[in-house]
């Protein structure tokens, strides 16, 4: 009997389990990958999980669109989370475009989009600059 109750709990909250899986997947990709494009993709997966969380919180079982009817017992779904998520999607697309544009500029400057290689190039440039400054003095 307890197993059946546990199974009902898991299936009843399936949307939240999917949010957790997507969120952890996105976080893992951001933390574990050195490629900047993969980091942006990981951020987008993480962002999508947050969208799903807010949308699933705004949904009420049996709720309808908030249009007034003659039935005073009508249950309505809250439209505010959906409207906010539409705005967040637009902001997310703009942020992704900006991130990808920055990655293109980084690729042009450093000839790579791997984080470790960029740090190596930065350190090499800093050493050469320090050496040149020392030669001037």
Residue 35, strand partner residues: 114
Ordered by where they begin, the domains of the chain are 2-63+73-136 (1.10.287.3510)
**Residue 2 clears pLDDT 70, i.e. is over it:** no
Q: What is the pLDDT of residues 67-84, one digit of tens each?
A: 777 777 888 877 888 888
Q: What is the pLDDT of residues 9-34, one digit of tens each?
A: 778 788 889 999 999 999 999 999 89
Mean per-residue pLDDT over the chain, rounded: 88
Residue 27, pLDDT score: 96
Residue 1, pLDDT score: 60
pTM, full prediction? 0.79
For residue 123, count other CB atoms closer than 10 A to its CB: 10
pLDDT bracket for residue 49 (50, 70, 90): very high
**Residue 5 clears pLDDT 70, i.e. is over it:** yes
**Residue 36 clears pLDDT 90, i.e. is over it:** yes
- Mean pLDDT on 108-130: 91
CA–CA gap between residue 11 and residue 17 (Å, rounded): 9
- Main-chain phi, psi angles of 35, to 5 degrees: -75, 130
For residue 21, count other CB atoms closer than 10 A to its CB: 11
Largest Cα separation within the chain, whole Å, is: 87
What percent of the chain shows pLDDT beyond 70? 96
Q: What is the DSSP string of 78-125?
A: -SHHHHHHHHHHHHHHHHHHHHHHHHHHHHHHHS--BHHHHHHHHHHH
> C-alpha distances in angstroms, 122 versus 24, 80, 115, 129, 133?
31, 46, 11, 10, 16
CA–CA gap between residue 39 and residue 116 (Å, rounded): 13
Residue 102, pLDDT score: 97
């Amino acid at each position: 009997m307890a197993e059946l109750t546990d199974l009902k709990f898991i299936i009843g909250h399936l949307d939240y389990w999917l949010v957790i899986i997507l969120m952890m997947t996105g976080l893992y990709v951001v933390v574990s990958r050195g490629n900047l494009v993969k980091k942006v993709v990981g951020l987008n997966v993480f962002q999508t999980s947050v969208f799903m969380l807010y949308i699933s919180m705004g949904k009420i079982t049996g709720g309808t669109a908030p249009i007034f009817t003659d039935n005073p017992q009508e249950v309505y779904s809250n439209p505010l989370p959906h409207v906010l998520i539409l705005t967040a999607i637009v902001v997310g697309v703009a942020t992704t475009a900006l991130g990808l544009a920055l990655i293109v500029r980084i690729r042009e400057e450093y000839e790579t989009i791997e984080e470790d290689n960029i740090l190596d190039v930065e350190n090499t440039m800093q050493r050469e600059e320090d050496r040149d400054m020392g030669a001037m003095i």
